């Protein structure tokens, strides 16, 4: 199993049903050294950007998911985002969708 940290629409029950076919159980956590920019992707979706200042943090939810779930989330997030691993405030290391600047 993998950890996936979310800070946007993947926290919503209906989106989880659409993407994973079920509700996914998670718990609150935070991504340190990042800021959240609202309406940054397609004018309506958030993205996190690194600040390198550990006082900056983005609150969200971390979920335990399968590789198949991650592949489904990749398709949902589109090429606007890329998935990378980062440490969370809890000490867990989790996949996070960040801006795909390619």
Predicted confidence at residue 46, as pLDDT, reads 94
Residues 10, 20 contacting (CB under 8 angstroms)? no
Closest CA to 96 of 54, 68, 63, 72: 63
Contact 37, 7 (CB under 8 A): no
CATH number of the domain enclosing 20: 3.10.490.10
Average pLDDT of the chain is: 95
Number of independent structural domains in the chain: 1
Confidence of residue 102 (pLDDT cuts 50, 70, 90): low
Q: What is the pLDDT of residue 95?
A: 98
pLDDT band at 82 (very low <50, low <70, confident <90, very high): very high
| 54, pLDDT greater than 90 | no
H runs (alpha helix) in 21-92: 67-77
Residue 52 has pLDDT above 90, yes or no: no
Q: In which domain, by residue range, is 23 found?
A: 2-99
Q: What is the pLDDT of residues 4-25, one digit of tens each?
A: 999 999 999 999 999 999 999 9
Q: What is the pLDDT of residues 63-81, one digit of tens each?
A: 999 999 999 999 999 999 9
């Amino acid at each position: 199993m993998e950890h996936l940290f979310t800070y946007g629409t993947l926290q919503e029950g209906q989106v989880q049903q659409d993407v994973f076919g079920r509700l996914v159980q998670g718990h609150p956590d935070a991504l340190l050294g990042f800021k959240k920019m609202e309406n940054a992707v397609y004018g309506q979706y958030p993205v996190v950007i690194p600040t390198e200042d550990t006082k900056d943090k983005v609150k969200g939810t971390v979920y335990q998911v399968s590789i198949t779930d991650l592949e489904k989330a990749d398709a949902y997030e589109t090429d606007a985002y890329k998935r990378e691993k980062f440490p969370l405030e809890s000490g867990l290391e989790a996949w996070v969708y960040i801006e795909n600047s390619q």
